Amino acid sequence: MTHCTTAQAYKHCQKLTSSHYENFPVASILLPARLRKPISAIYAFARMADDFADEGNLSVTERYKLLDSAKHNLLKAADNKPDDNPVYIALADTLEHHPALLPQLLNLLTAFNQDVEKDRYASFGEVMTYCRNSANPVGHMLLILFNEDNEKNVACSDAVCSALQIINFLQDIQSDYCQRNRIYMPADEMQQYQITTDNFDKNSPPHKLTNFMNFQVQRTLKLLQAGAPLGFALKGRVGFELRMIILGGWLILKKINDNQGDINNPPKLDKKDWLWVFLHAFSSRFIIYLKNLLPISTS
């Protein structure tokens, strides 16, 4: 790839960021302009490395090789000697100004390597350990960029990020199993609810999963609520975007719950949903609204 300028590299990352569907806004126009570029560089790197672990028909050896190369190139970027790739050129600039991001980016690579080698989880504790590397570093990096990475904020961020990761797992139960032979649902809980891998296959009867999914939704909602105060702890547009993210997570949980165990049509947020989220994120009663006025049913 021909060498590009830092500005061109960031433009490439921003284009990549906007080209992928995500449940939650990434480097959106709501954020201060100074943060959009570094966030797009972080996202582009995470997207690229995640694809190394998940996408295509690569062998395990090939995936490890690509992830090792990503780590090597990340460290080169941190040393301001980036590979001739716009993602690493943008990362070199980002890490020059925010060196504390590097350990969190390395944690993401730990999670992606785990995706290559691990396809079953024995307990919820194992799932949360995975989230500590796969999701929580994203929140840590955002707090570092916002200069708000104090202990209380990090704890709330971890709760929100882990909840969002589990929401993705709940959305993707069927595709994770059918396309990647991967199950993030805790095996001990599957046994408790008499769930087998057959229930994650296409066209499995929804009623078999209803109680199991209700339990997952209720627990994830509590985790999301535990981190919700961060939506007001962070001020201005940053806090507003976080409130949107939290409400977006709540809305997907509601849709999953409304599906009553049907995993054949995983819910996504459309423009109408995001308008609802946008309007309600303005509310000064955000926390009360999230907890009390929109309860998740337990039918």
pLDDT tens per residue, range 97-108: 999 999 999 999
Q: Let me know whether 64 and 161 are in one domain.
A: no
pLDDT at 35: 86
Q: Are 244 and 160 in contact (CB under 8 A)?
A: no
The pLDDT tens digits along the chain (299 residues) read 457 899 999 999 988 887 654 555 554 556 777 888 999 999 999 999 999 998 878 999 999 999 999 999 999 999 999 988 999 999 999 999 999 999 999 999 999 999 998 999 999 999 999 999 999 999 999 999 999 999 999 999 999 999 999 999 999 999 999 988 999 999 999 999 999 999 998 878 888 899 999 999 999 999 998 999 998 899 888 888 889 999 999 999 999 999 988 999 899 999 999 888 888 888 766 665 566 544 555 44
Output the six-digit token pair for 132.
């500590």
**What would the pLDDT profile of 155-204 be if each residue is shown by its tens digit?**
999 999 999 999 999 999 999 999 889 999 999 999 999 999 999 988 78
The answer on 4 and 137 residing in a single domain is no
35 and 97 in one domain? yes
The answer to the question of residue 162 being in a domain is: yes
pLDDT score of 1:
45
Reading the block at residue 88, the tokens are 């690493």
The answer as to whether 113 is a domain residue is: no
Closest CA to 106 of 70, 148, 79: 70
Within a domain: residue 108? no
Domain around 126: 118-299
Asked if 66 and 188 sit in the same domain, the reply is no
Can you give the CATH number for the domain in which 57 is found?
1.10.600.10
Whether residues 36 and 124 share a domain: the answer is no
HSE-up of residue 66 (Cα within 13 Å, Cβ side): 19
Is 0.85 topped by the overall pTM? yes
Give, to the nearest 10 degrees, the angle between helix 102-117 and helix 60-78. 180
The total of structural domains in the chain comes to 2
Q: Are 245 and 275 in a shared domain?
A: yes
Strand positions, DSSP E, the chain: none
Query: Which of these three, 74, 102, 130, is where a domain ends?
Result: 102
E-state strands within 146-244? none
Q: Identify residue 47 by its one-letter amino acid code.
A: R
- Please tell me the predicted confidence (pLDDT) of residue 103: 97
Burial of 130 (0-12, 13-18, 19+ CB in 10 A): buried
In a domain, 107, yes or no: no
Whether residues 71 and 181 fall in one domain = no
The C-alpha atoms of residue 184 and residue 97 are separated, in whole angstroms, by 36
Whether 134 maps to a domain, the answer reads yes
CA angle 250, 166, 114 (to 5 degrees): 155
Predicted confidence at residue 289, as pLDDT, reads 55
Statement to judge: residues 127 and 249 lie in one domain: yes
Token pair, residue 101, equals 């991001």
Q: Are residues 122 and 95 in the same domain?
A: no
Residues 297 and 264 in one domain: yes
